Amino acid sequence: MGLLQEMGDRLYEAMQARQPIPPLTQELPEMSVDEAYTVQTQLVERLIGDGASVTGYKLGLTSRPMQQMIGVDQPDFAPVMSHMVHDESAPIDLSRFIQPKVEAEIALVLKEPLRGPGVTTLQAGRAVAGAVAAIELVDSRIQDWKVRLADTVADLASAGAIVLGQTLVPLQGWDLRLTGMAVERNGELEDTGAGAAALGSPLAAVAWLANTLAPYDVELQPGHVVMTGALHRAFEVAPGDLVRAEFDRIGAVTVRFA
Residue length of the chain: 258
Q: Say how far apart CA 92 and CA 106 lie, in whole Å.
A: 20
pLDDT at residue 63 in the model: 66
pLDDT beneath 70: ranges in the chain: 1, 63, 65-73
pTM of the model: 0.94
pLDDT at residue 72 in the model: 65
Number of domains, the chain: 1
> Do residues 88 and 164 make contact, with C-beta atoms less than 8 angstroms apart?
yes
Secondary element (H or E) of residue 35: helix 33-49
Could you tell me the CATH number of the domain that includes residue 154?
Answer: 3.90.850.10
pLDDT at residue 246 in the model: 98
pLDDT at residue 66 in the model: 65
Q: Say how far apart CA 206 and CA 197 lie, in whole Å.
A: 13
pLDDT at residue 61 in the model: 76
Q: Say how far apart CA 241 and CA 215 lie, in whole Å.
A: 41
pLDDT at residue 257 in the model: 97
pLDDT at residue 115 in the model: 97
pLDDT at residue 135 in the model: 98
Residue 217 burial class via C-beta count within 10 angstroms: exposed 0-12, middle 13-18, buried 19 and up: exposed
pLDDT digits (tens, 9 = 90+) for 220-249: 999 999 999 999 999 999 999 999 999 999
Q: Say how far apart CA 4 and CA 156 lie, in whole Å.
A: 14
The alpha carbon torsion through 162, 5, 26, 215 (nearest 10 deg) reads -70
Q: Which domain holds residue 243?
A: 3-256
